[in-house]
Amino acid sequence: MLTYFLIFLLAMGGAFIQRVSGFGFGVFVMIFLPYLLSSYGEAAALSGLLAGSSALVIAVRVWRRIRWDVVWPLLIVNVIVSLIAIEYMASLGNDVLKRSFGAMFVIISLYCLFFDGRVKVPATWWSKGVLGALSGVMGGMFAMPGPALVLYCIGHIKDKLDYVATLQAFSVLLNIFYALFRARVGFIQDEILVWWLIGLGGSLVGTYVGSRFFERINGVMLKRIVYSMLFVSGVIAML
């Protein structure tokens, strides 16, 4: 029962962050989920299902603002690479995954704390391929495709609502593919679906509250708090 309650709260917090800052559901939720569930694969699967559901609620409301010209090139590369990453992930042990997961957390947190918004990626096919592949690895293995996508989108989508809408489209489409890939290798079982339904309630609450704060809260400060937590969690996971 305690696990159900904590999953509800985590989903609510992740959805709130995603609604306010455009991404970050998986970043926040995966700080805690690997310590609640029995395997890292289950944690990644549940995070993906909840992130996609939360993004869908937002995307339906702002779908007219989605920049599809940005979505498709990155999406195609991401899906191909993530399939390979998930297949590889299924062959690794929990300890290896958690240490790799911790190292990735530290790298992402340091980049976002010190370089977020300061590096502009050129709009070339080469850059789209590299960032799409990086997002595929991070999404497939660590349920965190967002940071690499944000690195591209933040420099090429000027309107705030277009930016948020495009990231939600990414999250919905990517997590549909991720769910299919993870089900194929056995990471999605009946218990995961029960946890997803419980977390879905938290996601709806978090999305609603986040929408009320969207114009008021300082998203930069919120992200810095999350990234600081991310850094600490990564160090703990590696040790």
Write out pLDDT tens, residues 142-183: 777 877 787 777 777 778 788 888 888 988 999 899 999 888
The model's pLDDT over 34-93, given as tens digits with 9 standing for 90+, comes to 888 888 788 889 998 998 888 888 888 888 899 998 888 889 999 999 888 888 877 776
Q: To the nearest whole percent, how much of the chain has pLDDT over 70? A: 81
CA distance 138 to 94: 16
Q: Which residue has the tokens 């300082």?
A: 218
Lookup: tokens for 181: 């890939």
Question: What pTM, to 2 d.p., does this model score?
Answer: 0.78
Q: Report yes or no: 191 and 3 within 8 Å, Cβ to Cβ.
A: no
Say which range, 8-12, 13-17, 97-101, 208-212, has the weakest mean pLDDT: 97-101
Q: Report yes or no: 183 and 196 within 8 Å, Cβ to Cβ.
A: no
Task: Provide the mean pLDDT of the chain.
Answer: 81
| Domains in the chain: boundaries | 2-238
